[in-house]
Structure 1
Amino acid sequence: MRQRRRTVLKGTVALGSTALMGRAQPHRTGSGSRRTPPEGLTLQWLGVAGWELRFGDARLLFDPYLSRMPFQSPDGSVDPSLPLRLDPKAVTAVAERNLAGPPDLILVSHGHFDHLADVPQLLGHPDWAGHRIRTLCDETADHLLAAMGAPDRRLADVIRVRGGEHLRFPGFTVEVLRSLHSQFSDHGYFAPGTHVGRPRTPRTLGDLVEGATLAYQVSFDDGPSVYLSGTSNLAERELTGLRPDIAVVGMTSHSAVHRYPQRLLGVLGDPPLLLPSHHDDMLSPLLPTAAPTGRSAAATALEEAAAARGAGGTRVLDPVPLRPFGLTAPAGR
């Protein structure tokens, strides 16, 4: 069974000033002792399943998708025949105005358009040319990156993983976890498939097939551990013994998955802090607009799942896209 020292978190969650605006506030799900991630971690939701993580000198991106292209047929379902309509201007704007700089590592959960499509442009961003960016992904995503024109000088820095790897990087480790994709209400999957060689240049949403779906746990040296999932599903036995301080929880539709949030929280040991993800409309422009009023349905659902489990030590933070927030220890601890 996987074992890891779990950081003792004391007091209350203290957030950076940007996090205190709008919905980005912690919520207590019940009574009990409080624990706070060690100071120094900054997170930024990039919309959909995308996140930026910063701790000390380490910078990581997870599933950075910024183009927000049309993806639905008239009946509201995801249409794999729609053309890829990448938005290079939007990607450049976020890279230059919102990200802290070039990442050391990009983590990709699977090959679908809303997770992988903008990675080639980010790898080739001219302002990041002198910085080595490594990419963790499965074999299918690796082939899709090549087919989409990821810069050749970067391809040597793609690390193919399958799940089960525990990799060391300067300042942190990454544990690669086999996972499952979200399922439609009829139990089907969007754009399944794999590639064992480079395919033709992708032209439609469905050309970016799933491959193997992965989740990750990033553990920062002398800092918190963060579970990252890009989907609303899990391979429960793969997570046995994992005890992250923070869990980024995919919250797309999961009606076909039996007790998804409850099972996830249970196998992860009721993490002290939960962050819903992949629950926006995937279309509205990513702009620094006024903070929404009220809490999102995804955050409320996570609160209810935690409360049903009696997880009094768990809090739910409702993030706002492109509003970085820091997690710090309270004064006088």
Structure 2
Amino acid sequence: MKKKAISPQMGRRAVLTGAGAAALAGVVMQTAVPQLASAQSLDGQQPTGAGGFAAFEWLGNAGWRISTPTTTLLLDPYLSRFDTGLAAGAFKETTPLTLDPTAIASALGSPGDGRPGVSAILVTHTHWDHFADVPHIAARWKSTVYTTLTGYQLGIAMGLPSAQLAVVKGGEELNIGDAVVRVVRSLHSRNGAGGLTFPGVRTQVPPPPATIADLLEGDTIGFVIRPAAGRPGVLLLGGSDYDDQELQGLGVDTVALPVPSNGFTADYAGRLLRALDKPRTVILVHWDDFESPLGTAPKTDEKTRLRMAALTADIKRISPRTRVVEPNYLTPMQLL
């Protein structure tokens, strides 16, 4: 089935952290990351889990599928991965929102096909590369979407009933199936001019969004997944910034950390590691070219690859015992 524009009824990374032609200048050459049989630890160690409670599969960008014995959670599932001109250095803010049901079904399956369903969808913020596929996925699996007020309004505009949309603000600790999910107040990364790309919030239901620019950032949150209240968890972030005061005392030993594309966030690795008491594992995310199909090997540009190496070096300098992991698409990792 071909990709199709999102109708009212359904109803690259550098741009989000580097606006304008100057920020796009480095996003031309793409380097394929070797296909791996499992996640690769950049310091030579293999990631290991604390038990057998949950498998985490990277869906590209900041996306995850988390599978527990009874529950399947998605975080920021963006599987259509349509072309915005970004990888070619010609980003178009007017790019129409496009849905690829075939790509979504290939990654997640379809209702009734015997594969696990989708119990709930967690949304860190509502930029297109985090939210555009969410209403379709939620409608197909009748899943509840945990999101900001902006996500609530956009979800209704894109055809979801209010009963499937749950607004969260940060501080909530929720039982979702057999998982405990804590919502964490967070921040989105800065672009090359120091501001936010597509800033703003939606306090009322807007017209059905038609282009990527219609999906505003809408505030940013993170999520901690744990097997039970008080147990160590995994922190999943969707933007390459955070409020370190909100991270203190979370009790996590693994964090999925987006790779920044500029230096606006001061002491990016250090403040996070100190706030989390130097977690056992850092998994690098939001570094791939998320316009290429998920079925291919992850790709990135040389500028981002250098930033990944620099971030890894910072993490190892500050916390030598912390493992730094580069995930591969759809490869289960036992993190809980």
TM-score range, shorter chain: 0.7 to 0.9
* Offset from partner CA, 1:39-89 (integer Å, 9 cap, x none): 342111111111011222222110000111122469837532222122222
Contact 1:218 1:226 survives alignment (8 Å): yes
TM-score (norm 2): 0.79
Q: Which residue of structure 1 aligns with residue 63 of structure 2?
A: 50
Q: Give CA deviations for 1:79-117 in whole Å, capped at 9, x if unaligned.
A: 322221222221122121899521222100011100010
Residue equivalent to 2:96: 83
Please say if residues 162 and 212 of structure 1, whose CA atoms lie closer than 8 Å, have aligned partners that are also in contact. no
2:112 matches 1:103: no
* Distance in structure 2 (CA, Å) of the matches to 1:95 and 1:207: 26
* Conserved? CA contact 2:144–2:166, under 8 Å: yes
Q: Distance in 1 between matches of 2:263 and 2:217?
A: 20
1:168 has 2:188 as partner: no
Number of residues paired by the alignment? 295
Distance 1:37 1:100, change over 3 A: farther
Q: Which amino acid aligns with 2:138?
A: L
Give the 3 Å change call, closer, same or farther, for CA 195–291 of structure 1 in structure 2: closer
- What TM-score do you get using the length of structure 1 for normalisation? 0.79
Provide the secondary structure at the position in 2 that maps to 1:124.
Answer: helix
1:154-303 to structure 2, matched below 5 A, reads: 155-221=162-228, 224-287=232-295, 289=297, 297=306, 299-303=308-312
Alignment partner, residue 135 of structure 1: 145
Displacement over 4 Å in runs of 4+: 27-30, 97-100, 288-292, 295-299
For the pair 1:117 / 2:117, whether they are aligned, the reply is no
Q: SS of 2:203's equivalent?
A: coil
CA RMSD of aligned residues (A): 3.0
Aligned amino acid, residue 246 of structure 2? E
Partners of 2:87 and 2:43 in 1: CA distance: 40
The alignment partner of 2:252 has SS state of: coil
8 Å Cα contact 1:288-1:322 kept in structure 2: no
How far 1:299 moved relative to its partner? 5.0
2:106 aligns with 93
C-alpha contact (below 8 Å) 1:276/1:298 kept by paired residues: no
Gaps of 5+ in 2: 1-34
Tell me the percent identity.
33
Report Cα offsets for 1:10-67 as digits up to 9, x if no partner: xxxxxxxxxx94572234489xxx9852234211111111101122222211000011
Distance in 1, matches of 2:186 and 2:57, equals 23
Change (3 A) 1:190 1:51: same
Q: Any conservation in 1 of the 2:55–2:335 contact (CA below 8 Å)?
A: yes
Q: Alpha-carbon deviation of 1:253?
A: 1.2
SS of aligned partner of 1:156: helix
CA deviations on 1:119-144 (whole Å, 9 max, x unpaired) are 1111122xx3xxx5222101111111
Structure 1 residues 281, 27: CA separation in 2 closer, same or farther (over 3 Å shift)?
A: closer
* CA distance in 2: counterparts of 1:281 and 1:74, whole angstroms: 7
Distance 1:79 1:272 in 2: 40
Equivalent residues of 1:35, 1:272 under 8 A apart:
no
For the residues of structure 1 that align with 2:97 and 2:195, how far apart are their CA atoms?
22
One of 315, 320, 333 as aligned partner of 1:306: 315
C-alpha change, 1:194 and 1:77, in structure 2 (3 Å) is farther
Match for 2:218: what amino acid?
Answer: G
Q: Which secondary structure state, in structure 2, belongs to the residue aligned with residue 167 of structure 1?
A: strand
Secondary structure of the residue aligned to 1:141 is: helix
> Residue 107 and residue 201 in structure 1: after superposition, are their counterparts in 2 closer, same or farther (change >3 A)?
same
